[in-house]
Amino acid sequence: MKSNAARDAHKTDWSDPGVCLTIAVLGCTGDLAKKKTYPALFALFLHDHLPQSTLVVGYARSDLNDVSLRETLRDRLKGPGDKVQEFLQRCFYERGAYEDETRVDVFGGLGTRMAGFETARNATEAHRIFYLALPPSVYPPVCRNIHEACMATTGWTRVIVEKPFGRDLESSERLSGGIARLFTEKQLYRIDHYLGKELTQNLVVMRFANRFLAPLWNRDNISNVQIIFREPFGTQGRGGYFDQYGIIRDIIQNHLLQLLCLVAMEKPCSLSPDDIRDEKLKVLRCISPVSTENVALGQYTNSAEGVAYLDDPTVPAGSRAPTFALTVLEIQNERWEGVPFIVEVRAFPKHHVPPP
């Protein structure tokens, strides 16, 4: 799926020395930024898909500077040493808060830093992308601060938000409404990074480009479909994520349902994002409501593979958040009726017991 930012980038003459692109990674010291965002940006740089004018500014509350951020990122970037060093020289750090009711210019320092880069490059066309590698709970104040202090004055501004977008329908609509009052749809891009995985992107091509699969991909030839997510390590400081969002609201509801839809959907009219989305929606509308009889939950205890979930210092005492979940979904349509879709998440080592 091509983003608004990507479409605008295609129209921009990046060979013009007066054009500058600054990418701000908000929450740059978090798990998502270190594991996904910066390595992805480096991969783009390594394959010459980033314009030469690109700079990356990390923003967080941690007591770091440009040098210490680069050292933190170095081991996460896989590639030739000279290329890693060249990319890191484009990475900078700005420390600050995400919200402060006593201040109006919370992002004033970030806005000033970005403007300084643009001025130093004599940019006549300066574009800015803000990637929010942050909990959804801080999206509204962060977006408000971007709008007040960091909007591009001579180019376009884009804001990229990650799922999960809220905890439920009510909070999702509240988040959407708050951000929509600050930015137009053209300025917003909502993403699920799982859709960027090579295997995920190849599913559609594999299914519909191989003609021999078409007569086999149905209830007459498939007894069940299993979609299994396994993460062989513990919380690693992500107790807040697991307790507030976790494997059901995030991994199952977002990542794995996307995979289920790609596996189960009918052939779209074209490979355009809108046509693929329409076929996914048809699958979701055919899924029967989930009952407790078709769900199993668990929470990991001490074992040879790792410490118990509740022993992690970032996990609230007495948390009942599951770290293992299994559910059986039924798609009531002609192709899949009677075929159970088994969705399973194992976010920790093997042993588990039901939550207390």
Residue range 297-307, pLDDT digits in tens: 988 887 666 67
Structural contact between residues 52 and 21, judged by C-beta atoms closer than 8 angstroms: no
Residue ranges per domain, the chain?
A: 4-191, 195-353
Highest mean pLDDT among 50-59, 227-236, 309-318, 340-349: 50-59
pLDDT, position 4: 52
pLDDT, position 14: 60
pLDDT band at residue 123 using 50, 70 and 90 as cut-offs: confident
pLDDT, position 39: 94
Structure confidence by residue, pLDDT tens digits, 32-81: 899 889 999 999 999 999 988 899 999 999 999 999 999 999 999 999 99
Q: Which residue has the higher pLDDT, 96 or 3?
A: 96
pLDDT, position 95: 94
4-191: CATH homologous superfamily? Answer: NAD(P)-binding Rossmann-like Domain (3.40.50.720)
pLDDT, position 6: 52
What HEC string does the chain produce? CCCHHHHHHHHCCCCCCCEEEEEEEECCCCHHHHHHHHHHHHHHHHCCCCCCCEEEEEEECCCCCHHHHHHHHHCCCCCCHHHHHHHHCCEEEEECCCCCCCCCCCCHHHHHHHHHHHHHCCCCEEEEEEEECCCHHHHHHHHHHHHHHCCCCCCCEEEEEECCCCCCHHHHHHHHHHHHCCCCHHHEEEECHHHHCHHHHHHHHHHHHCHHHCCCCCCCCCCCEEEEEECCCCCCCCHHHHHHCHHHHHHHHHHHHHHHHHHHCCCCCCCCHHHHHHHHHHHHHCECCCCHHHEEEEEECCECCECCHHHCCCCCCCCCCCCEEEEEEEECCCCCCCCEEEEEEECCCCCEECCC
Asked whether residue 346 carries a pLDDT value surpassing 90, the answer given is no
Asked which of 52-56, 198-202, 234-238, 347-351 is least confident by mean pLDDT, the reply is 347-351
Structural contact between residues 356 and 322, judged by C-beta atoms closer than 8 angstroms: no
pLDDT, position 18: 80
Structural contact between residues 279 and 323, judged by C-beta atoms closer than 8 angstroms: no
Strand order across the 340-346 sheet:
225-230, 340-346, 324-330, 295-300, 352-353
Evaluate whether the domain defined by 195-353 bears CATH number 3.40.50.300: no
pLDDT band at residue 1 using 50, 70 and 90 as cut-offs: very low
- Give the whole-number percent of the chain exceeding pLDDT 90: 52
Asked whether residue 104 carries a pLDDT value surpassing 80, the answer given is no
Asked whether residue 355 carries a pLDDT value surpassing 80, the answer given is no
Backbone angles phi, psi at 191, to 5 degrees: -130, 160
> Same fold for the domain at 4-191 and the one at 195-353?
no
Task: From 203, 42, 231, 23, select the one nearest 129 (Cα to Cα).
Answer: 23
Mean pLDDT of the chain: 87
Structure confidence by residue, pLDDT tens digits, 203-220: 888 888 888 888 899 999
Q: pTM, whole model, 2 decimals?
A: 0.80
Stretch 237-262: mean pLDDT:
87
Stretch 168-191: mean pLDDT:
88
Catalytic residues: 255
**Buried-state track 207-242, b at ≥16 Cβ within 10 A, e below 16:** bbeeeeeeeebeeeeeeebebebeeeebbeebbebb
Q: What tokens does 234 get?
A: 């513990």
Structure confidence by residue, pLDDT tens digits, 135-152: 888 888 999 999 999 999
Q: Can you tell me the distance from the alpha carbon of 301 to that of 351, in angstroms, rounded to the nearest whole number?
A: 7
